[in-house]
Amino acid sequence: MELLAVFATLAILIVLISALRLHPFLAFLISAIAGAIMLGIPLDRIPDSLQNGLGNTLGGLTIVLCLGAMFGKLVAQSGAAQKIATVLMRVCGPRYVTWALMLTGFIVGIPLFYNVGFVLLVPLVFSVMYQSRLPAVYLGIPLLAALSVTHGFLPPHPSPTALVPQFGADMGTTLVYGIIVAIPAMVLAGPVFSRFLKGIESSPLSIFHVESRDDDALPSTFNAFATALLPVVLIAASAAIPAFNDTDKPGAALSFFGNANIVMMLSLAVATVSLGLNRGKSMNEVMSLYADAVKDIAVILLIIAGAGTLKQVFIDSGVSAQLGELMTGVDVHPLILAWLVATVIRICLGSATVAGLTAAGIVAPLALNGHVDPNLLVLAVGAGSLMCSHVNDSGFWMYKEYFNLSIKDTFKSWTVMETIVGVTGLAAVLVLDVFI
């Protein structure tokens, strides 16, 4: 009964958005209420579920998304993004630019939380698009595939980091295995798959569109790269420093300056000076750019908030745990079982992190009983948590709105890319299991 209610809720959401053309935020609210009723949540608790889902989702994303939009706006308007794109194209050439973007996403994605990496690197994709005249989706998918594999497979990202102690795995071993699994996944889902997406037309948000300038009007190469990559350097440094300490717990100052919100504030402050004030812009001009960036990001925030309400309804109803328990009766390989449980929960809840953590409580006995290598179990759950991203995933809507795509084209590119990552990840885990 619960499974039918979940599918009915998702069907309502898809019909409201695709057939009736309702705004996604309103569609999410209506679907969440309908789902809550079908799943048996008392009527007097439904408003709390909606409010908690909206607040919890925006609470962790608003600062990063808004500051990231401001940062990206300044990087684009100052000419720094054009400078970076020019250097990349000169070094790699048009033929290998998708591979360069994939490697950029992978390196940057290791220390950065997915949403931070997304808002930082999307301007780079669009700048390369304007310079090379290659399609935005063709260029963006390789980079986003790389960000996805780091998010699902590699510590210090939330889900794999939390799963390691729950399964009794080793952080270093999981990281090494995760890199091995990530390489074929991002290659197939990135440069290889993107070759089939050149026909998808995309008109990215104007927030990142700037006219090309002469080289002498652009920031220096050092200024452009150093400012644009400052958030990456700061977060990477905060992640690396504890490895050189005698204690496992970082100090209060390290925790503070390593926080993504604080990193974005510091980076924006530096960019305001290095790409704004020092290059002849007044403070009023810079603040005007930031105001425009916030206006452009408002719709995306609403859509993500709506996705949060639906996710919270599924969590409050307890349907995720029930679905996972149903899967444990299937007679399959433990790693495939873990992947299936995470996949089902991912499809129902949307969030990769929530899917991974929810699946962990169900499949943990497999590791504790010695049925499977715990490090591989972490990666199998991670692969399942990335599967089949669709309309209840905030990443789906971020991609759709940033790239300004139709629902159909978002499914054809984003959803298929994430599914390739999940399937290839499982295949690589099973291959590793043979040799370990």
The angle at the Cα of 381, spanning 348 to 115, to the nearest 5 degrees, equals 70
Higher pLDDT, 395 or 145: 145
Question: What does the alpha-carbon distance between residue 191 and residue 235 come to, in Å, rounded to a whole number?
Answer: 27
Higher pLDDT, 422 or 241: 422
- Closest residue by Cα to residue 139 from 420, 402, 423: 402
Question: What does the alpha-carbon distance between residue 67 and residue 154 come to, in Å, rounded to a whole number?
Answer: 25
pLDDT for residue 313 is more than 90: no
Q: What is the per-residue pLDDT for 369?
A: 67
pLDDT for residue 354 is more than 70: yes
pLDDT for residue 328 is more than 70: no
The whole-chain average pLDDT of the chain stands at: 83
% the chain with pLDDT above 90? 32
pLDDT for residue 323 is more than 70: no
- Closest residue by Cα to residue 122 from 191, 204, 201, 55: 204
Q: What is the per-residue pLDDT for 126?
A: 85
pLDDT band (50, 70, 90) for residue 71: confident
- Residue written as token pair 């019909």: 15
Q: What is the per-residue pLDDT for 43?
A: 94
Q: How many domains does the chain have?
A: 1
DSSP characters for 152-210? HHSTTSHHHHHHHHHHT--HHHHHHHHHHHHHHHHHIIIIIHHGGGTT------GGG--
Considering only the C-alpha atoms of the chain, give the largest distance between any 2 of them, rounded to a whole number of Å.
67
pLDDT band (50, 70, 90) for residue 273: very high
> Cβ atoms within 10 A of the Cβ of 123, count?
29
Average pLDDT over residues 46-65: 83
pLDDT band (50, 70, 90) for residue 240: low
pLDDT for residue 75 is more than 60: yes
Can you state the angle between helices 136-153 and 171-187, rounded to 10 degrees?
160
Domain range for 344: 2-435
Tens of pLDDT, residues 12-35: 887 887 678 788 889 889 999 999
pLDDT for residue 329 is more than 70: no
pLDDT for residue 266 is more than 60: yes
Q: Say if residues 125 and 145 touch (Cβ distance below 8 Å).
A: no
Q: Say if residues 5 and 38 touch (Cβ distance below 8 Å).
A: yes
Q: What is the per-residue pLDDT for 211?
A: 61
pLDDT band (50, 70, 90) for residue 249: low
pLDDT band (50, 70, 90) for residue 378: very high
% the chain with pLDDT above 70? 87
Q: pTM higher than 0.85, yes or no?
A: no
- Residue written as token pair 């990666």: 379
Higher pLDDT, 12 or 242: 12
Q: Which of 129-138, 374-383, 405-414 has the lowest mean pLDDT?
A: 129-138
pLDDT band (50, 70, 90) for residue 49: very high
Q: The dihedral of CA 421, 424, 427, 433: what is its sign?
A: negative
